[in-house]
A and B are shown apart, each in its own frame.
Chain A
């Protein structure tokens, strides 16, 4: 791997770090517009992060080192994932080093640390949130793996760049099997990123929280890292979706810093569309009862299986 490629890889990760808060800001703007409200600034997530980084970190007396470590692990995992996902180019050094299964494992590891940290201090809400987070996770992972499996059948590889390249070469149309798994993927994306209808990122009601409840004990830089990690996770999931279903604009083949000049605007356009789409789904849905989440994610799994069957039966 050449220094140029590593440099480009570094640039890609920086773009991801910078774009993730804006994606959330954009999503919140769209949500506000759709609800007939005046929208908050696009840069609000940035201001929030800056504010949090400048605050004094308070940590519960009985917190173990794991509690302090978890934000760095979770954030690190999300940064690494951002490097692995072929969001801008398929021949970057990190992108080709791991396949989609490893990526799912990376998300699972981050989730585990988050859940352990939430239970570490021993408050009722943290434990409650961790328990629910793990429930969502163990139901969402098989659905996500099934989605990836369907996509890998078309390209005969579980490596994301290979899937992206074969798809990008295949023209504009989305095959029926991929259409089914795309639906499944959207459901998984909503669940994994604590969006409505599974979780409500805007709620202040401790008892209903899933993701937010795991962060209640965090403050200042730790909270900032956790929030930034959550924003990166949303960015990563959307980019996985692009890699699997909408690879247009991604540089296939060797890429240098100049290649990003095309890839980044294309990505920005796709992100804007995706953010607006998620906001629309969130506005027209209500949050479902926690006990309905298994049904929701089983539906996602079912769609992915349908995609698999369609591929086997129709060969498309």
Chain B
């Protein structure tokens, strides 16, 4: 098996367990990608560091059967590419490569060279010609209070023939900002890459940082981090389930799930001091310890919320109108999902049974049995079902975590790592696997930091899921994916 050859050659990398690193040449870069694709692996992230003048580095991270494989391609100084593009093997690579060019000036060999993050010119959308075809341009400013993104529909009547998204409206220069920060303070920025995945990103950052500093966090800290991560997952799922009901015109669902989410957020605030857990995960552990009383109170609220969610699920399942809207809408077939390398929740609803909590588990997930919840339907109903199941799974995990909180410290001292140390953090956020690649710089600064949200892989899948559906179903399908804009705009 050729992939094993690479795997054995690769060196273990600091941070997430089960991730290895490999430096390759130009030919090997393509060969590794081919071998990964042949064994059913997916591209998790791709980015470029440095500028062509001083010699840039291209990184790709794959999720494969033996584990995560980070591949580094060093370009000689003065070389602005093109390096071999991966679009043919991994369609998600296209936008990653275009974004990397906009940020670094290093080009891939793939044919699509339209700018992605750079919005200087009007974006050349692909035109669909034909009798009665017309375009509907939506956004970037929408009628509701949501993130900005532009969607170009080509339609005949109400039927969608093609959808092309254009993002990058909330580009904040995050990678640049990371390089100006002390490495011990970067977790705060990481938490703000995508606000709804604050715990996942800040944990991934801290995991990478602690790995390259050679430090281990106390068991209590690991348990509390997992509590935070599952609370984040639970709150987001509850919010989405309500919003999905509302988008199907069933406002009762929104009212009920909003109430449940609010109960959960208040209990979170009582235990951790804030409703959304932005700066709880800190390098070396967690910033807030939870008393045994508030842990019990939190567990009670979670138990009640999960029980009510189960009741509401019966209402959703038995409601003729809601079921009719959910079933068959925005179907993403498992085969296509595998081809596109769809990650996380959306992938699991289309038969892709990956979950970093099982595949690349860190403490405390090594002690917990997490079975990925997989459906093969691939439609809105399947994504709703996965959310409902994961709500119950979260409830079980949280009960277990809170009942068995280890005693002891919840932070450990942490030294700034040596210049040039490289680590990767990989955490299964509510949307899917979140990756943070971190390289230490001189004087305790960050040399580079690349945060990667699974939305990169899933945005293109949305464009396929909508095909053949009608225009007014798009908001519902989009909501069932619920992808991050800020997480990919960087």
Contacts and interface: CB of A to CB of B under 8 A. Distances in A.
Contacts of A34: 252
Nearest to A198: B249
B463 to A, nearest CB: 15
B252 A207 contact: no
Contacts of B128: none
Interface string B245-280: 101111110011001000000000000000000000
B321 A287 contact: yes
Interface in B82-139: 134-138
A285 B252 CA distance: 10
Q: Which 6 A-B pairs have the closest CB atoms?
A: A287-B249, A286-B321, A204-B144, A205-B475, A286-B250, A35-B255
Contact of B259 (A36, A207, A287): A36
B325 A286 contact: yes
Interface string B126-159: 0000000011111000111000000000000010
B470 A288 contact: no
Nearest to B137: A124
Nearest to B254: A35
A207 B471 contact: yes
Interface of B: 134-138, 142-144, 158, 245, 247-252, 255-256, 259, 319, 321-322, 324-325, 470-475
Nearest to B245: A286
A197 interface: yes
Nearest to A288: B321
Contacts of B135: 124
A196 B248 CA distance: 10
8 contacts: A35-B251, A128-B136, A202-B251, A205-B143, A285-B249, A286-B245, A286-B319, A288-B325
A195 to B, nearest CB: 10
A81 to B, nearest CB: 28
A200 interface: yes
Given A285-B321, A289-B473, A290-B158, A36 B255 contact: yes
Given A205-B144, A206-B138, A288-B324, 8 more contacts: A37-B255, A204-B142, A207-B471, A208-B475, A216-B143, A285-B249, A288-B249, A290-B472
B247 A36 contact: no
Contacts of A290: 158, 470, 472
Contact of A283 (B138, B158, B252, B474): B252
With most chain A CB atoms within 10 A of its CB, the pick from B250, B255, B474 is B250
With most chain B CB atoms within 10 A of its CB, the pick from A196, A200, A202 is A200
A287 B325 contact: yes
A35 to B, nearest CB: 4
Main secondary structure of the interface of A (DSSP, over half): loop
A285 B322 CA distance: 8
A31 interface: yes
A197 B321 contact: yes
Interface of A: 31, 34-37, 124-125, 128, 196-197, 200, 202-208, 216, 283, 285-292
Contacts, number: 77
Nearest to B320: A286
B143 A36 contact: no
A124 B136 contact: yes
A37 to B, nearest CB: 5
A206 B158 contact: no
Contact of B142 (A124, A202, A206, A288): A206
Given A36-B255, A197-B321, A204-B144, A287 B471 contact: no
A206 B143 contact: yes
B97 to A, nearest CB: 30
Contacts of B474: 207
A124 B319 CA distance: 33
Contacts of B470: 289-291
B243 to A, nearest CB: 11
Contacts of B134: 124
A36 B322 contact: no
B158 A291 contact: yes
Given A204-B143, A206-B143, A128 B259 contact: no
B325 A128 contact: no
Contacts of B248: 286-287
A103 to B, nearest CB: 29
A253 B247 CA distance: 49
A125 B22 CA distance: 51
Given A36-B255, A207-B474, A289 B324 contact: yes
A289 B137 contact: no
A205 B143 CA distance: 7
With most chain A CB atoms within 10 A of its CB, the pick from B143, B249, B250 is B249
A34 B256 CA distance: 11
Contacts of B324: 286, 288-289, 292
A196 B249 CA distance: 7
B251 A31 contact: yes
Contacts of B144: 204-205
A175 B180 CA distance: 81
Contact of A208 (B255, B322, B472): B472
A44 B142 CA distance: 25
Nearest to B255: A35
Contacts of B143: 204-206, 216
Nearest to A210: B472
Contact of A289 (B250, B325, B475): B325
A206 B139 CA distance: 10
Contacts of A207: 136, 138, 471-472, 474-475
A246 B248 CA distance: 33
Contacts of A35: 251-252, 255
A205 B247 contact: yes
Nearest to B471: A207
Contacts of B252: 34-35, 283
A36 B471 contact: no
A153 B321 CA distance: 35
A203 B248 CA distance: 10
A37 B324 CA distance: 26
A123 to B, nearest CB: 9
A205 to B, nearest CB: 4
Contacts of A292: 324
